[in-house]
């Protein structure tokens, strides 16, 4: 069944992660995504390995590229040349959406900015993704995920006092910017469909990461105190962390006072539910230094499996700290179809992660494995010429 965005054309001029993440979502939902890459090397992430897939001709494609470029066609164009720019403009004239992540001012130099394209294509939805946006004192600075996690405050609350600030293990600033960009594009398409007018969307990694500080930023805005490094504990909920067991570690996430009462009973401490120090969450937060060691001592004498069975039976959220291999091996992954294998041009299956969205009528449409560089140049340009006036 065709995806919900079938019939839309997206010109993807982006590279690395935030832009490609957004366009992969659009492609999985049915849009025809034409990814423009520089000849000879392509998207930077094609070489961000190992690990890499080694093709029959010896060429390698890094796993990093594979994670964000499914459901696209690859066209090799030199956008630094006049001919490449003309071809890109012709492709943009037939697109509903353009996504780019050039440094501020680069697209205008090539005649590929929103103002230039919208003059002839007023319905165009155009999304720019940069580190700091199109305005402000940092607009000309490059922005990579790691530095954005630091500048936007995420690293100040990630890690422990012993470890110091730590970046998240995946590029969360890039990924969340890609998600917000997708939301913005879909909203702009809704506006376009209602009014006939497109618009320019200005997305910045810094803006997105700051917005995603969520309760941590709100804690500061309310209290005037910056949150500090707390390791695997939570600033507003106790107990909400991992605890050592006889054979590993188990995360316990007690979200309300009723859950805590049941949890205390499992530990043989029914009295905690009526203890003024622990009865309410606010009390537990204030007395965490007393309560947490007591919980840790109680849990250390039994296995992870023992506690999981008891906690599951009592409806108390819990889970192990899985490796990625263990996470991908969970029964839930198979049940939800969260791994997708697609044949590449040579017939080799390329396995990627599925979209987490579930539709009752128009599910994601995984049509293409991540493409080889320039694999679709001839077909796309031939179709472009065939559509030209007078052809």
Q: Which residues are catalytic?
A: 174
What is each CA distance from 267 to 62, 230, 261, 315, in whole angstroms?
48, 25, 10, 15
Question: What is the DSSP track for 100-116?
Answer: E-PPTTHHHHTT-SHHH
Cα distance between residue 243 and residue 299, in whole Å: 7
CB atoms within 10 A of CB 345: 12
Rounded distance, CA 391 to CA 383, Å?
11
Residues 6+ apart with CB under 8 A from 77: 36, 37, 38, 39, 84, 87, 88, 377
Q: Which residue has the tokens 């080889």?
A: 372
Phi, psi dihedral angles at 34 (to 5 degrees): -105, 110
What gap in Å lies between CA 205 and CA 129, rounded to an integer? Answer: 8
């Amino acid at each position: 069944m065709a995806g919900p965005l079938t019939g839309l054309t997206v010109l993807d001029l982006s590279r690395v992660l935030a832009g490609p993440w957004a366009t992969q979502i659009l492609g999985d939902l049915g849009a025809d995504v034409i990814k423009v890459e520089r000849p000879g090397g392509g998207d930077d992430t094609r070489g961000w390995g190992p690990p890499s897939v080694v093709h029959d001709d010896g060429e390698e494609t890094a796993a990093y590229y594979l994670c964000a470029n499914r459901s696209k066609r690859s066209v090799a164009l030199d956008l630094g040349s006049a001919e490449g720019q003309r071809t890109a403009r012709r492709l943009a004239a037939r697109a509903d959406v353009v996504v780019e992540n050039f440094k501020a001012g680069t697209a205008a130099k090539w005649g590929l900015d929103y103002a230039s394209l919208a003059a002839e294509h007023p319905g165009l939805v155009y999304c720019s993704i940069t580190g700091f946006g199109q305005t402000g004192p940092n607009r000309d600075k490059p922005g990579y995920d790691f530095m954005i996690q630091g500048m936007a405050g995420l690293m100040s609350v990630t890690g422990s006092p012993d470890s110091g600030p730590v970046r998240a293990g995946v590029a969360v600033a890039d990924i969340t910017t890609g998600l917000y960009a997708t939301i913005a594009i879909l909203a702009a398409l809704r506006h376009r469909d209602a009014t006939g007018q497109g618009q320019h969307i200005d997305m910045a990694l810094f803006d997105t990461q700051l917005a995603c500080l969520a309760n941590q930023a709100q804690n500061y805005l309310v209290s005037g105190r910056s949150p500090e490094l707390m390791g695997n504990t939570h600033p507003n909920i106790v107990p909400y962390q991992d605890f050592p067991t006889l054979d590993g570690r188990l995360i316990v996430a007690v979200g309300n006072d009723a859950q805590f009462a049941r949890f205390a009973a499992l530990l043989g401490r029914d009295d905690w539910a009526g203890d003024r120090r622990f009865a309410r969450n606010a009390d537990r937060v204030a007395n965490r230094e007393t309560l947490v060691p007591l919980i840790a001592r109680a849990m250390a004498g039994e296995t992870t499996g023992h506690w999981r069975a008891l906690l599951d039976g009592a409806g108390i959220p819990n889970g192990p700290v899985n490796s990625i291999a263990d996470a991908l091996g969970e029964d839930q992954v198979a049940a939800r179809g969260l791994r997708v294998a697609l044949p590449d041009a040579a017939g080799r299956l390329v396995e990627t992660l599925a979209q987490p969205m579930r539709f009752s009528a128009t599910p994601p449409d995984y049509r293409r494995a991540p493409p080889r560089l320039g694999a679709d140049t001839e077909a796309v340009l031939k179709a472009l010429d065939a559509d030209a006036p007078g052809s």
